[in-house]
Amino acid sequence: MYQRSSPRGDSPVSIIGAGIAGAWQALLFAQAGHAVTLYERGDADMTLSTSHWAGGMLAPWCEAETSEPVIVRLGIRALDLWRAHFPQTEFNGSLVVAHPRDRADFERFAKLTTGHARLDAQALGELEPALQGRFRDALFYAGEGHVEPRRVLAELHARIAAAGGAVKFDGAAKAEDLDGIVIDCRGLAARDTQKELRGVKGEMIVIETSEVELARPVRLIHPRWPLYVIPRGDGKFMLGATSIEAEDTGVSVRSALELLGAAYAVHPAFAEARIVEFGAGLRPAYPDHLPRIAIAKDRIAVNGLYRHGFLLAPALAELTLGYVKRGAIDNEVMRCA
């Protein structure tokens, strides 16, 4: 971290894109006393955003399996911000389980991650009664949490308005038309100015049943993707997520079979669940899969949140605010022109 001269600390701030990245930026800037306007091209349902399709897991320790240490560092900081700003966020931890045939990958996952306790079958059944007798053991990441993305996005937008910010839906904004500080949080749509961005497709399914109850996300070790089942309340569960180098938003039969198969492997009663929704979002990613805050005077771009948008957005907003207020630079994440 070092200091650099920053734009005027009391300037009005325009944020383009009301997904999870832009919403957290808008909230922290509005609460810090800036006149904030958040622009979103779509409507309040946010179906044009990748954030709409996300699982909402806040899982820095599990993500360490495939991510750089900076993701874990920012993710752990972000958990504090979620707790401080949304005290109702569920922090019930998360579980990792495996079929006997994926034992080696399970042990590898355990070795590559920290922050977990190993539960035997009995302890697993005590923690999550629906999984009684289903797995030989499990990894329990007690410090992790999860949010319901669609609910939390709406809540963020309401909180921005309550803090004095304006949230404007149904109109695309252009940075060149806006005065003051402009923070570009357009996700994949920012490819017009950031050519390196690409979309990584993540498919998901929502199912509904009253036959299974889970209190926390359960990840099933899978040879290709980390598949998971996330309880969404009211008998709904989100099954996620594939990770495919494609930029269409269709859901393939093969992916659907794998996602539904994962749910069935976690608990056979999911076989009788009703399918509520299929969908896919495109995760905005740079080639190194790391988030970036690119600064050119009072033009700032926050992007590349890839598979960690819900986890990282609060910490990235705090860093941007720290730059505007004090000129603080985190050189793992920020690039200055």
Ligand X SMILES: Cc1cc2nc3c(=O)[nH]c(=O)nc-3n(C[C@H](O)[C@H](O)[C@H](O)COP(=O)(O)OP(=O)(O)OC[C@H]3O[C@@H](n4cnc5c(N)ncnc54)[C@H](O)[C@@H]3O)c2cc1C
By CB under 6 A, name the binding residues for ligand X. 16-22, 39-42, 46, 48-51, 53-57, 172-173, 185-187, 189, 202, 204, 240-241, 281, 283-284, 305-311
Q: How far is the CB of 211 from ligand X (least distance, A)?
A: 24
Nearest distance from C-beta of residue 5 to ligand X, angstroms: 27
Distances (CA, A) of 297 to 64, 182, 205: 33, 10, 42
Q: Find the length of the chain.
A: 337
Spatial CB neighbours of 204, under 8 Å, sequence gap ≥ 6: 53, 55, 238, 239, 240, 241, 259, 278, 279, 280, 281
Name the strands in the sheet holding 36-39, side by side, starting at the edge strand that comes first in the sequence. 166-168, 36-39, 13-16, 181-184, 299-303, 292-296, 334-336
Minimum distance, C-beta of residue 125 to ligand X, in the bound complex (Å):
25
Least distance to ligand X, CB of residue 107, Å: 24
- Closest residue to ligand X, judged by C-beta, is 19
| Shorter beta-carbon distance to ligand X: residue 52 or 134 | 52
Min. distance of Cβ 122 from ligand X in angstroms?
Answer: 29
What's the closest the beta carbon of residue 133 comes to ligand X, in angstroms? Answer: 28
Distances (CA, A) of 197 to 120, 149, 288: 43, 23, 10
Question: Looking at beta carbons only, is 46 or 98 nearer to ligand X?
Answer: 46
Q: Which amino acid is at 73?
A: R
Shorter beta-carbon distance to ligand X: residue 273 or 285 = 285
Q: Which is nearer to ligand X, 165 or 187 (CB)?
A: 187
| Closer residue to ligand X in complex, CB, 1/84 | 84
Give whichever of 131 and 197 is closer to ligand X, judged by the CB atom: 197
Q: Which stretches does DSSP call E strand in the chain? A: 2-3, 13-16, 36-39, 57-58, 94-97, 117-120, 137-141, 145-146, 166-168, 181-184, 198-208, 218-220, 227-233, 236-240, 274-285, 292-296, 299-303, 328-329, 334-336
Q: What b/e readout covers 117-130, taking b as 16+ CB neighbours within 10 angstroms? A: eebeeeebbebbeb
Query: Which C-beta is closer to ligand X: that of 7 or that of 309?
Result: 309
Residue 3 has φ and ψ, to the nearest 5°, of -105, 150
Least separation in angstroms between CB 182 and ligand X: 11
